[in-house]
Protein backbone atom coordinates (compact mmCIF):
# COMPACT_ATOMS: atom_id res chain seq x y z
CA UNK A 1 0.00 0.00 0.00
CA UNK A 2 1.11 3.61 0.61
CA UNK A 3 4.76 4.34 0.20
CA UNK A 4 6.13 7.90 0.35
CA UNK A 5 8.49 7.50 -2.61
CA UNK A 6 5.88 5.88 -4.83
CA UNK A 7 3.49 8.66 -3.76
CA UNK A 8 5.89 11.39 -4.84
CA UNK A 9 6.85 9.64 -8.09
CA UNK A 10 3.38 8.52 -9.16
CA UNK A 11 1.11 11.25 -7.80
CA UNK A 12 3.56 14.06 -7.28
CA UNK A 13 6.33 15.90 -9.06
CA UNK A 14 9.14 13.43 -8.41
CA UNK A 15 11.75 12.89 -5.71
CA UNK A 16 13.75 15.87 -4.53
CA UNK A 17 16.86 16.07 -2.35
CA UNK A 18 15.33 19.14 -0.72
CA UNK A 19 11.56 18.66 -0.36
CA UNK A 20 10.44 15.59 1.61
CA UNK A 21 7.95 13.20 0.03
CA UNK A 22 4.39 13.07 1.45
CA UNK A 23 4.15 10.70 4.40
CA UNK A 24 0.53 9.57 4.06
CA UNK A 25 -2.52 9.56 1.82
CA UNK A 26 -3.93 12.28 4.06
CA UNK A 27 -0.86 14.42 3.41
CA UNK A 28 -1.39 14.02 -0.35
CA UNK A 29 -5.01 15.12 -0.01
CA UNK A 30 -4.19 17.94 2.40
CA UNK A 31 -1.94 19.34 -0.29
CA UNK A 32 -5.02 19.88 -2.44
CA UNK A 33 -7.28 21.61 0.02
CA UNK A 34 -4.93 23.90 1.91
CA UNK A 35 -3.82 27.28 0.70
CA UNK A 36 -2.25 27.26 -2.74
CA UNK A 37 1.09 28.48 -1.41
CA UNK A 38 3.15 27.57 -4.44
CA UNK A 39 0.85 29.60 -6.69
CA UNK A 40 1.34 32.58 -4.43
CA UNK A 41 5.09 32.12 -4.54
CA UNK A 42 5.19 31.75 -8.35
CA UNK A 43 2.17 33.73 -9.52
CA UNK A 44 0.74 33.34 -13.03
CA UNK A 45 -1.55 36.05 -14.30
CA UNK A 46 -5.20 35.04 -14.63
CA UNK A 47 -7.06 35.44 -17.91
CA UNK A 48 -9.07 38.30 -16.44
CA UNK A 49 -5.87 40.32 -16.56
CA UNK A 50 -4.32 38.70 -19.64
CA UNK A 51 -7.34 39.54 -21.80
CA UNK A 52 -6.47 43.25 -21.61
CA UNK A 53 -3.25 42.43 -23.44
CA UNK A 54 -5.35 40.85 -26.18
CA UNK A 55 -7.66 43.82 -26.53
CA UNK A 56 -4.74 46.25 -26.48
CA UNK A 57 -3.03 44.29 -29.26
CA UNK A 58 -6.18 44.09 -31.33
CA UNK A 59 -6.94 47.79 -30.86
CA UNK A 60 -3.43 48.71 -32.03
CA UNK A 61 -3.80 46.43 -35.03
CA UNK A 62 -7.12 48.03 -35.90
CA UNK A 63 -5.59 51.51 -35.58
CA UNK A 64 -2.77 50.40 -37.83
CA UNK A 65 -5.21 49.30 -40.52
CA UNK A 66 -7.35 52.39 -40.29
CA UNK A 67 -4.57 54.92 -39.91
CA UNK A 68 -5.08 57.94 -42.10
CA UNK A 69 -1.54 59.25 -41.91
CA UNK A 70 1.92 57.68 -41.95
CA UNK A 71 2.52 59.09 -38.51
CA UNK A 72 -0.58 57.51 -37.06
CA UNK A 73 0.33 54.22 -38.69
CA UNK A 74 3.87 54.24 -37.29
CA UNK A 75 2.43 55.03 -33.89
CA UNK A 76 -0.02 52.14 -34.08
CA UNK A 77 2.59 49.71 -35.35
CA UNK A 78 4.77 50.66 -32.43
CA UNK A 79 1.95 50.08 -29.97
CA UNK A 80 1.19 46.72 -31.57
CA UNK A 81 4.79 45.58 -31.35
CA UNK A 82 4.99 46.72 -27.76
CA UNK A 83 1.90 44.73 -26.81
CA UNK A 84 3.26 41.70 -28.63
CA UNK A 85 6.67 41.89 -26.96
CA UNK A 86 5.11 42.30 -23.53
CA UNK A 87 2.82 39.32 -24.10
CA UNK A 88 5.73 37.16 -25.20
CA UNK A 89 7.64 38.14 -22.12
CA UNK A 90 4.66 37.30 -19.94
CA UNK A 91 4.36 33.97 -21.76
CA UNK A 92 7.99 33.12 -20.95
CA UNK A 93 7.30 33.92 -17.30
CA UNK A 94 4.35 31.58 -17.28
CA UNK A 95 6.42 28.74 -18.69
CA UNK A 96 9.14 29.40 -16.15
CA UNK A 97 6.70 29.60 -13.24
CA UNK A 98 4.84 26.47 -14.30
CA UNK A 99 8.14 24.57 -14.12
CA UNK A 100 9.27 26.29 -10.92
CA UNK A 101 6.05 25.32 -9.18
CA UNK A 102 6.82 21.70 -10.00
CA UNK A 103 10.42 21.85 -8.84
CA UNK A 104 9.66 23.57 -5.53
CA UNK A 105 6.24 22.40 -4.41
CA UNK A 106 5.56 20.22 -1.37
CA UNK A 107 2.18 19.24 -2.84
CA UNK A 108 3.01 17.93 -6.28
CA UNK A 109 -0.36 16.19 -6.58
CA UNK A 110 -1.91 19.62 -7.10
CA UNK A 111 0.39 20.38 -10.04
CA UNK A 112 -0.29 17.00 -11.60
CA UNK A 113 -4.05 17.41 -11.27
CA UNK A 114 -3.96 20.95 -12.64
CA UNK A 115 -2.19 19.54 -15.69
CA UNK A 116 -4.59 16.61 -15.98
CA UNK A 117 -7.69 18.80 -15.91
CA UNK A 118 -6.20 21.45 -18.16
CA UNK A 119 -5.63 18.64 -20.64
CA UNK A 120 -9.14 17.22 -20.17
CA UNK A 121 -10.49 20.71 -20.90
CA UNK A 122 -7.98 21.60 -23.59
CA UNK A 123 -8.44 25.16 -24.84
CA UNK A 124 -6.04 27.20 -26.95
CA UNK A 125 -5.91 30.57 -28.60
CA UNK A 126 -6.06 30.42 -32.37
CA UNK A 127 -4.58 33.77 -33.32
CA UNK A 128 -1.87 36.28 -32.44
CA UNK A 129 -1.28 36.72 -28.72
CA UNK A 130 -4.38 34.76 -27.75
CA UNK A 131 -2.04 31.80 -28.32
CA UNK A 132 -0.28 32.69 -25.07
CA UNK A 133 -3.48 32.65 -22.98
CA UNK A 134 -3.55 28.97 -21.99
CA UNK A 135 -1.80 29.35 -18.62
CA UNK A 136 -4.04 32.31 -17.66
CA UNK A 137 -7.04 30.12 -18.56
CA UNK A 138 -5.75 27.25 -16.41
CA UNK A 139 -5.03 29.61 -13.53
CA UNK A 140 -8.55 30.99 -13.60
CA UNK A 141 -10.85 28.20 -14.77
CA UNK A 142 -9.07 24.96 -13.83
CA UNK A 143 -6.75 25.30 -10.87
CA UNK A 144 -9.24 26.66 -8.30
CA UNK A 145 -11.65 23.78 -9.00
CA UNK A 146 -9.48 20.65 -9.12
CA UNK A 147 -10.52 19.45 -5.67
CA UNK A 148 -14.11 20.62 -5.74
CA UNK A 149 -17.16 19.33 -7.54
CA UNK A 150 -16.72 18.29 -11.16
CA UNK A 151 -19.75 20.32 -12.20
CA UNK A 152 -18.15 23.55 -10.97
CA UNK A 153 -14.98 22.72 -12.87
CA UNK A 154 -17.05 21.87 -15.96
CA UNK A 155 -18.97 25.14 -15.84
CA UNK A 156 -15.82 27.19 -15.28
CA UNK A 157 -14.03 25.56 -18.20
CA UNK A 158 -16.88 25.32 -20.71
CA UNK A 159 -18.06 28.90 -20.23
CA UNK A 160 -14.55 30.35 -20.16
CA UNK A 161 -13.75 32.93 -22.88
CA UNK A 162 -10.79 30.91 -24.15
CA UNK A 163 -12.93 27.77 -24.56
CA UNK A 164 -15.70 29.76 -26.27
CA UNK A 165 -13.07 31.11 -28.66
CA UNK A 166 -11.29 27.78 -29.20
CA UNK A 167 -14.39 25.74 -30.05
CA UNK A 168 -16.19 28.44 -32.07
CA UNK A 169 -18.96 29.01 -29.53
CA UNK A 170 -18.63 32.79 -29.34
CA UNK A 171 -20.17 33.27 -32.80
CA UNK A 172 -22.86 30.60 -32.48
CA UNK A 173 -26.32 32.13 -32.48
CA UNK A 174 -29.79 30.61 -32.11
CA UNK A 175 -31.31 30.68 -35.63
CA UNK A 176 -34.63 31.99 -34.28
CA UNK A 177 -33.08 34.34 -31.75
CA UNK A 178 -33.40 38.10 -32.18
CA UNK A 179 -29.96 38.39 -33.71
CA UNK A 180 -30.27 35.14 -35.66
CA UNK A 181 -33.38 36.36 -37.43
CA UNK A 182 -32.11 39.83 -38.09
CA UNK A 183 -28.69 38.80 -39.36
CA UNK A 184 -29.48 35.35 -40.71
CA UNK A 185 -27.02 33.75 -38.36
CA UNK A 186 -27.22 30.40 -36.65
CA UNK A 187 -25.61 27.62 -34.68
CA UNK A 188 -22.16 26.12 -34.57
CA UNK A 189 -22.12 22.62 -33.03
CA UNK A 190 -18.45 22.40 -32.20
CA UNK A 191 -18.45 23.09 -28.45
CA UNK A 192 -21.71 21.22 -27.78
CA UNK A 193 -20.31 18.07 -29.41
CA UNK A 194 -16.99 18.18 -27.56
CA UNK A 195 -18.71 18.82 -24.22
CA UNK A 196 -20.56 15.51 -24.55
CA UNK A 197 -17.86 13.55 -26.36
CA UNK A 198 -14.77 14.71 -24.48
CA UNK A 199 -15.69 16.64 -21.34
CA UNK A 200 -18.59 14.65 -19.89
CA UNK A 201 -20.29 11.49 -21.22
CA UNK A 202 -17.46 10.19 -23.42
CA UNK A 203 -17.73 9.10 -27.05
CA UNK A 204 -19.43 5.84 -26.08
CA UNK A 205 -21.92 7.72 -23.93
CA UNK A 206 -25.69 7.62 -24.47
CA UNK A 207 -26.10 10.75 -26.60
CA UNK A 208 -27.23 11.23 -30.18
CA UNK A 209 -26.81 13.84 -32.88
CA UNK A 210 -30.16 15.31 -31.77
CA UNK A 211 -28.73 15.85 -28.28
CA UNK A 212 -25.71 17.62 -29.76
CA UNK A 213 -28.00 19.89 -31.71
CA UNK A 214 -30.23 20.66 -28.73
CA UNK A 215 -27.24 21.36 -26.53
CA UNK A 216 -25.86 23.72 -29.19
CA UNK A 217 -29.19 25.57 -29.09
CA UNK A 218 -28.98 25.81 -25.30
CA UNK A 219 -25.42 27.13 -25.56
CA UNK A 220 -26.36 29.87 -28.02
CA UNK A 221 -26.21 32.66 -25.44
CA UNK A 222 -22.59 31.88 -24.42
CA UNK A 223 -20.46 34.59 -25.94
CA UNK A 224 -17.86 37.31 -25.39
CA UNK A 225 -18.07 41.04 -25.07
CA UNK A 226 -15.92 43.55 -26.93
CA UNK A 227 -13.26 43.29 -24.23
CA UNK A 228 -12.93 39.52 -24.56
CA UNK A 229 -14.73 38.84 -21.27
CA UNK A 230 -17.54 36.32 -20.89
CA UNK A 231 -20.97 37.61 -21.76
CA UNK A 232 -24.29 35.81 -21.91
CA UNK A 233 -26.08 37.42 -24.84
CA UNK A 234 -29.84 37.11 -24.63
CA UNK A 235 -30.09 38.29 -28.23
CA UNK A 236 -28.40 34.98 -29.24
CA UNK A 237 -30.69 32.75 -27.19
CA UNK A 238 -32.86 30.34 -29.13
CA UNK A 239 -36.49 30.79 -28.01
CA UNK A 240 -38.38 27.86 -26.53
CA UNK A 241 -37.10 24.82 -24.70
CA UNK A 242 -34.55 22.20 -25.67
CA UNK A 243 -34.42 18.52 -24.80
CA UNK A 244 -31.07 17.00 -23.87
CA UNK A 245 -30.92 13.31 -22.89
CA UNK A 246 -34.70 13.32 -22.50
CA UNK A 247 -34.91 16.29 -20.14
CA UNK A 248 -36.27 19.70 -21.01
CA UNK A 249 -34.23 22.88 -20.46
CA UNK A 250 -34.24 26.49 -21.54
CA UNK A 251 -37.39 27.88 -19.98
CA UNK A 252 -35.72 30.97 -18.53
CA UNK A 253 -33.60 31.93 -21.53
CA UNK A 254 -30.85 32.81 -19.10
CA UNK A 255 -27.41 31.53 -18.21
CA UNK A 256 -28.90 29.34 -15.48
CA UNK A 257 -30.35 27.08 -18.22
CA UNK A 258 -26.83 26.37 -19.42
CA UNK A 259 -25.64 25.75 -15.88
CA UNK A 260 -28.56 23.38 -15.31
CA UNK A 261 -27.76 21.20 -18.31
CA UNK A 262 -24.04 21.19 -17.49
CA UNK A 263 -24.79 20.13 -13.91
CA UNK A 264 -26.97 17.29 -15.15
CA UNK A 265 -24.34 16.18 -17.65
CA UNK A 266 -21.76 16.27 -14.84
CA UNK A 267 -23.95 14.06 -12.64
CA UNK A 268 -24.66 11.51 -15.37
CA UNK A 269 -23.38 7.98 -14.61
CA UNK A 270 -21.60 7.88 -17.98
CA UNK A 271 -19.64 10.98 -16.97
CA UNK A 272 -18.71 9.38 -13.66
CA UNK A 273 -17.23 6.38 -15.45
CA UNK A 274 -15.57 8.45 -18.16
CA UNK A 275 -13.85 10.72 -15.65
CA UNK A 276 -12.87 7.83 -13.35
CA UNK A 277 -11.37 5.87 -16.24
CA UNK A 278 -9.33 8.79 -17.52
CA UNK A 279 -7.95 9.60 -14.07
CA UNK A 280 -7.08 5.97 -13.42
CA UNK A 281 -5.30 5.76 -16.78
CA UNK A 282 -3.40 8.95 -16.22
CA UNK A 283 -2.07 7.98 -12.80
CA UNK A 284 -1.73 4.19 -12.99
CA UNK A 285 -1.56 2.48 -16.38
CA UNK A 286 -3.04 2.42 -19.90
CA UNK A 287 -5.50 -0.35 -19.02
CA UNK A 288 -6.33 0.22 -15.34
CA UNK A 289 -7.60 -2.35 -12.87
CA UNK A 290 -11.39 -2.57 -13.46
CA UNK A 291 -12.02 -2.61 -9.73
CA UNK A 292 -10.13 0.67 -9.35
CA UNK A 293 -12.33 2.24 -12.02
CA UNK A 294 -15.45 0.84 -10.34
CA UNK A 295 -14.45 2.19 -6.93
CA UNK A 296 -13.68 5.63 -8.34
CA UNK A 297 -16.91 5.64 -10.34
CA UNK A 298 -18.88 4.75 -7.20
CA UNK A 299 -17.13 7.47 -5.21
CA UNK A 300 -18.01 9.94 -7.93
CA UNK A 301 -21.65 8.91 -8.02
CA UNK A 302 -22.10 8.66 -4.25
CA UNK A 303 -20.68 12.14 -3.74
CA UNK A 304 -22.43 13.83 -6.64
CA UNK A 305 -19.14 14.26 -8.46
CA UNK A 306 -17.00 15.50 -5.59
CA UNK A 307 -13.52 15.14 -7.02
CA UNK A 308 -11.85 14.90 -3.64
CA UNK A 309 -13.87 11.75 -2.96
CA UNK A 310 -12.76 10.34 -6.31
CA UNK A 311 -9.11 11.01 -5.40
CA UNK A 312 -9.68 9.30 -2.03
CA UNK A 313 -10.91 6.21 -3.87
CA UNK A 314 -7.89 6.38 -6.19
CA UNK A 315 -5.39 6.75 -3.35
CA UNK A 316 -6.95 4.08 -1.17
CA UNK A 317 -6.93 1.35 -3.80
CA UNK A 318 -4.14 -1.25 -3.81
CA UNK A 319 -3.88 -1.00 -7.62
CA UNK A 320 -2.58 2.53 -7.18
CA UNK A 321 0.35 1.40 -5.08
CA UNK A 322 1.80 -1.46 -7.08
CA UNK A 323 5.56 -1.01 -6.87
CA UNK A 324 5.97 -1.57 -10.62
CA UNK A 325 6.05 1.68 -12.59
CA UNK A 326 3.87 1.24 -15.66
CA UNK A 327 3.17 4.67 -17.16
CA UNK A 328 5.78 6.69 -19.02
CA UNK A 329 6.20 10.30 -17.97
CA UNK A 330 5.02 12.95 -20.41
CA UNK A 331 7.82 15.23 -21.58
CA UNK A 332 6.71 17.99 -19.17
CA UNK A 333 6.88 15.50 -16.30
CA UNK A 334 10.19 14.10 -17.51
CA UNK A 335 11.82 17.51 -17.67
CA UNK A 336 10.31 18.92 -14.48
CA UNK A 337 11.06 15.82 -12.39
CA UNK A 338 14.62 15.88 -13.73
CA UNK A 339 15.08 19.50 -12.69
CA UNK A 340 13.63 18.69 -9.28
CA UNK A 341 15.90 15.69 -8.76
CA UNK A 342 18.89 17.75 -9.91
CA UNK A 343 17.95 20.35 -7.30
CA UNK A 344 18.40 23.05 -9.90
CA UNK A 345 18.99 26.42 -8.35
CA UNK A 346 15.64 28.19 -8.50
CA UNK A 347 17.21 31.60 -8.93
CA UNK A 348 19.14 30.37 -11.96
CA UNK A 349 15.94 29.23 -13.64
CA UNK A 350 14.11 32.33 -12.46
CA UNK A 351 16.74 34.47 -14.18
CA UNK A 352 16.68 32.48 -17.42
CA UNK A 353 15.82 34.52 -20.49
CA UNK A 354 13.42 33.58 -23.25
CA UNK A 355 16.10 32.00 -25.42
CA UNK A 356 17.40 29.85 -22.59
CA UNK A 357 13.90 28.69 -21.73
CA UNK A 358 13.34 27.84 -25.36
CA UNK A 359 16.55 25.84 -25.56
CA UNK A 360 16.21 24.07 -22.22
CA UNK A 361 12.51 23.38 -22.00
CA UNK A 362 10.25 24.37 -24.87
CA UNK A 363 12.22 23.07 -27.87
CA UNK A 364 13.33 19.81 -26.25
CA UNK A 365 9.72 19.15 -25.21
CA UNK A 366 8.65 19.68 -28.78
CA UNK A 367 11.21 17.17 -30.06
CA UNK A 368 9.98 14.76 -27.39
CA UNK A 369 6.50 15.08 -28.90
CA UNK A 370 4.82 17.59 -26.61
CA UNK A 371 4.73 21.14 -27.93
CA UNK A 372 4.13 23.50 -25.02
CA UNK A 373 0.37 23.62 -24.33
CA UNK A 374 -0.32 22.81 -27.97
CA UNK A 375 -1.89 19.37 -28.41
CA UNK A 376 -3.32 18.65 -31.86
CA UNK A 377 -6.96 18.81 -30.90
CA UNK A 378 -9.47 19.33 -28.09
CA UNK A 379 -8.86 15.74 -26.98
CA UNK A 380 -5.51 16.76 -25.47
CA UNK A 381 -2.40 14.57 -25.20
CA UNK A 382 -2.60 10.80 -25.65
CA UNK A 383 -2.45 8.71 -22.48
CA UNK A 384 -1.01 5.60 -24.14
CA UNK A 385 2.65 4.75 -23.59
CA UNK A 386 2.88 3.67 -27.25
CA UNK A 387 2.50 7.26 -28.40
CA UNK A 388 5.50 8.46 -26.41
CA UNK A 389 7.87 5.53 -26.80
CA UNK A 390 9.29 6.04 -30.30
CA UNK A 391 12.92 6.20 -31.40
CA UNK A 392 12.73 9.93 -32.01
CA UNK A 393 11.16 10.75 -28.68
CA UNK A 394 13.50 8.43 -26.78
CA UNK A 395 16.51 9.94 -28.56
CA UNK A 396 15.27 13.42 -27.71
CA UNK A 397 15.00 12.52 -24.01
CA UNK A 398 18.50 11.07 -24.05
CA UNK A 399 19.91 14.12 -25.82
CA UNK A 400 18.29 16.37 -23.24
CA UNK A 401 19.54 14.23 -20.36
CA UNK A 402 23.07 14.46 -21.77
CA UNK A 403 23.09 18.19 -22.27
CA UNK A 404 20.59 20.12 -20.18
CA UNK A 405 21.77 19.21 -16.67
CA UNK A 406 25.15 20.83 -17.37
CA UNK A 407 23.44 24.00 -18.40
CA UNK A 408 21.48 24.09 -15.19
CA UNK A 409 24.05 23.19 -12.58
CA UNK A 410 27.55 24.52 -12.24
CA UNK A 411 28.72 21.25 -10.71
CA UNK A 412 26.87 18.06 -11.49
CA UNK A 413 26.17 15.75 -8.54
CA UNK A 414 27.98 12.47 -8.21
CA UNK A 415 26.03 10.06 -10.47
CA UNK A 416 25.84 7.33 -7.83
CA UNK A 417 24.37 9.74 -5.28
CA UNK A 418 22.11 11.10 -7.96
CA UNK A 419 20.72 7.63 -8.72
CA UNK A 420 19.72 7.40 -5.06
CA UNK A 421 18.20 10.88 -5.03
CA UNK A 422 16.22 10.46 -8.24
CA UNK A 423 15.07 6.85 -7.80
CA UNK A 424 15.05 6.39 -4.03
CA UNK A 425 14.94 2.91 -2.50
CA UNK A 426 13.64 1.75 -5.84
CA UNK A 427 16.92 2.35 -7.69
CA UNK A 428 17.50 -0.81 -9.75
CA UNK A 429 20.98 -2.30 -9.32
CA UNK A 430 21.84 -1.97 -13.02
CA UNK A 431 21.16 1.78 -12.94
CA UNK A 432 23.26 2.21 -9.80
CA UNK A 433 26.01 0.22 -11.52
CA UNK A 434 25.81 2.25 -14.73
CA UNK A 435 25.96 5.47 -12.74
CA UNK A 436 29.13 4.30 -11.05
CA UNK A 437 30.71 2.89 -14.21
CA UNK A 438 30.10 5.90 -16.46
CA UNK A 439 33.23 7.54 -17.86
CA UNK A 440 32.18 11.00 -16.84
CA UNK A 441 29.59 12.76 -14.75
CA UNK A 442 27.34 13.95 -17.51
CA UNK A 443 26.94 10.48 -18.95
CA UNK A 444 26.33 9.07 -15.49
CA UNK A 445 23.57 11.61 -14.87
CA UNK A 446 22.11 11.00 -18.34
CA UNK A 447 22.01 7.23 -17.80
CA UNK A 448 20.00 7.71 -14.60
CA UNK A 449 17.56 10.10 -16.27
CA UNK A 450 17.21 7.94 -19.40
CA UNK A 451 16.61 4.75 -17.41
CA UNK A 452 13.09 3.31 -17.47
CA UNK A 453 13.17 3.47 -13.67
CA UNK A 454 13.27 7.25 -13.89
CA UNK A 455 11.17 7.73 -17.01
CA UNK A 456 8.21 5.80 -15.62
CA UNK A 457 5.92 6.49 -12.71
Q: What residues between 152 and 171 interact with another protein by CB under 8 A?
A: 168, 171
Q: Give backbone dihedrals phi and psi of 247, rounded to 5 degrees, phi first.
A: -115, 145
Least CB distance from residue 284 to another protein, whole Å?
15
The residues pairing with 247 across neighbouring beta strands, listed in sequence order, are 244
Contact map string, positions 266 to 305, toward another protein, x by CB under 8 A: --------------------xx------------------
Binding residue (CB under 8 A) for another protein from 235, 255, 319, 402? 402
Least CB distance from residue 278 to another protein, whole Å?
12
Kind and range of the H or E run holding 39? helix 37-41
Measure the CA–CA gap between 163 and 174, rounded to whole angstroms: 19
* Binding of another protein by 452 (CB under 8 A): yes
* Binding of another protein by 69 (CB under 8 A): no
Contact 8, 331 (CB under 8 A): no
The residues pairing with 149 across neighbouring beta strands, listed in sequence order, are 306
* Binding of another protein by 363 (CB under 8 A): yes
Q: Give backbone dihedrals phi and psi of 284, rounded to 5 degrees, phi first.
A: -115, -70
Nearest to 457 by CA among 4, 2, 11: 11
Residue ranges in 410-449 that form contacts with another protein under rule CB under 8 A: 428, 430-431, 433-434, 437-440, 442-443, 446-448
Q: Which stretch binds another protein (CB under 8 A): 94-102, 333-341, 346-354, 401-409?
A: 401-409
Kindly list the distances between the CA atom of residue 237 and the CA atoms of 49, 217, 242, 330, in Å, as whole numbers in the listed order.
28, 8, 11, 41
Binding residue (CB under 8 A) for another protein from 131, 185, 259, 409? 185
Least CB distance from residue 399 to another protein, whole Å?
5
Nearest to 364 by CA among 401, 337, 391: 401
Residue ranges in 84-143 that form contacts with another protein under rule CB under 8 A: none
Q: Which stretch binds another protein (CB under 8 A): 24-32, 40-48, 94-102, 389-397?
A: 389-397
* Binding of another protein by 353 (CB under 8 A): no
Least CB distance from residue 272 to another protein, whole Å?
20
Q: Tell me the chain's radius of gyration from C-alpha atoms.
A: 24
Kind and range of the H or E run holding 113? helix 108-120
Binding residue (CB under 8 A) for another protein from 14, 136, 180, 331? 180
Q: Give backbone dihedrals phi and psi of 240, rounded to 5 degrees, phi first.
A: 85, -175
Pick 70 or 184: Cβ nearer another protein = 184
Secondary structure (3-state) at 354 = helix
Least CB distance from residue 287 to another protein, whole Å?
7
Measure the CA–CA gap between 74 and 180, rounded to whole angstroms: 39
Q: Which stretch binds another protein (CB under 8 A): 32-40, 87-95, 304-312, 402-410?
A: 402-410
**Burial of 246 by CB count in 10 Å (0-12 exposed, 13-18 middle, 19+ buried)?**
exposed
Residue ranges in 208-247 that form contacts with another protein under rule CB under 8 A: 208-209, 212
Pick 22 or 180: Cβ nearer another protein = 180
* Binding of another protein by 26 (CB under 8 A): no
Least CB distance from residue 439 to another protein, whole Å?
5
* Binding of another protein by 190 (CB under 8 A): yes
Pick 386 or 411: Cβ nearer another protein = 386
DSSP state string for 335-348: HHHHHHHTT--HHH
- 121 CB neighbour count, 10 Å cutoff: 26
Q: How many residues in the shown chain lie near another protein by CB under 8 A?
A: 75
* Binding of another protein by 38 (CB under 8 A): no
Kind and range of the H or E run holding 255? helix 255-267
Amino acid sequence: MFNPEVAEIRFGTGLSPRVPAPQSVEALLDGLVGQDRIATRFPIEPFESFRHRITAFQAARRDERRAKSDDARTQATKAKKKANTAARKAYASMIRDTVLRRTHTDSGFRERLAFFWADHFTARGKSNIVRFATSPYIEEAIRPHIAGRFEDLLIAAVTHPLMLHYLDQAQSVGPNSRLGKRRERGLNENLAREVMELHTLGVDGPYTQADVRQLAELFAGLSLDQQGAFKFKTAHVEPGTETVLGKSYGRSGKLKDVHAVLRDLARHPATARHVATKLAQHFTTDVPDPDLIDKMTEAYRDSGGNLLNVYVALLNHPASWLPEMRNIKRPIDFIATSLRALDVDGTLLARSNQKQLLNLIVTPMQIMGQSWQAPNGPDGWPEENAFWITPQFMAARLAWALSAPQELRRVLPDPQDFAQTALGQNAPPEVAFAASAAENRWEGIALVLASPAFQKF
